Structure 1
Amino acid sequence: MFTVTPEAQKEVSVFFEGKEVQPIRIFIHGGGCGGPMVAMALDEEKDNDVRFDIGGIPYVVEKDLFEAGKPFEVAFNGMGFAVNSSLQLEAGGGGCSGCSSSGSCGC
């Protein structure tokens, strides 16, 4: 299952106003001090992707990642997007201790 909340869909639609619509890739970002996370970015569709067209916007996820992490949900919380999934990602290095941020993870 792959869903996009109404708030997220509205924000994505606003982003593409007056622009050519491009696929949005859902992927694992290596992360920084907080470890790996599920992220999204504009990209091209590839042969090994699963594609979801929601509100005229194509979202793509590599097939193996989709199977490992479903369900996926793209949400918008007023400050930014969040991609939620069932993946259990390990923080590599104990949170923010290695990024020189005093007390917060603002890397």
Structure 2
Amino acid sequence: MFNVSEEAQKQIAEYFKSNEIKPIRIFLHQGCGGAQIGMVIDEKKDADMVFKVAGIEYLVEKEFLKKARPIAVDFMGSGFRVSSSMELGGGGCGGCGSTGSCCS
């Protein structure tokens, strides 16, 4: 239902060596390029499912989890990648950031 790769665990542990350990929220956000799944430091809410992996709590809103499971967090190259079974549609912008686009 929820997985964090060894490389992602390593990178997150490295981050928390110099920062206070707090829960990480996995969430769906709408951007110029369409819907994406992201990660952010956050606090627990009543509607969250909590997964503890290698001492770190990951928060996923229960309704989102129903639609997105399984969710996988990985680290590739220089960044994190969060994937799920959820189909994410593209955005409606012609040219993100260009004059007259929906993102400017």
List structure 1 runs of 4+ shifted beyond 2 angstroms. Answer: none
Q: For 1:66-95, what per-residue CA distance to the aligned partner results, in whole angstroms no more than 9, with x for missing partners?
A: 11100000000022001000111111216x
2:96 matched to which residue of 1?
99
2:26 matched to which residue of 1?
26
Aligned residues: 98
How well do the aligned residues superpose, as a CA RMSD in angstroms? 1.3
Code of the aligned partner of 1:81: F
Structure 2: which 5+ residue stretches go unaligned?
99-104
Structure 2 Cα separation of the partners of residues 100 and 30 of structure 1: 15
Identity of aligned residues (%): 47
Tell me how far 1:49 sits from its aligned partner.
0.3
TM-score by length of 2: 0.88
1:66-85 equivalent positions in 2, closer than 5 A: 66-85=65-84
- Alignment of 1:47 with 2:28, yes or no, is no
Code of the aligned partner of 2:76: N
Structure 1: which 5+ residue stretches go unaligned?
102-107
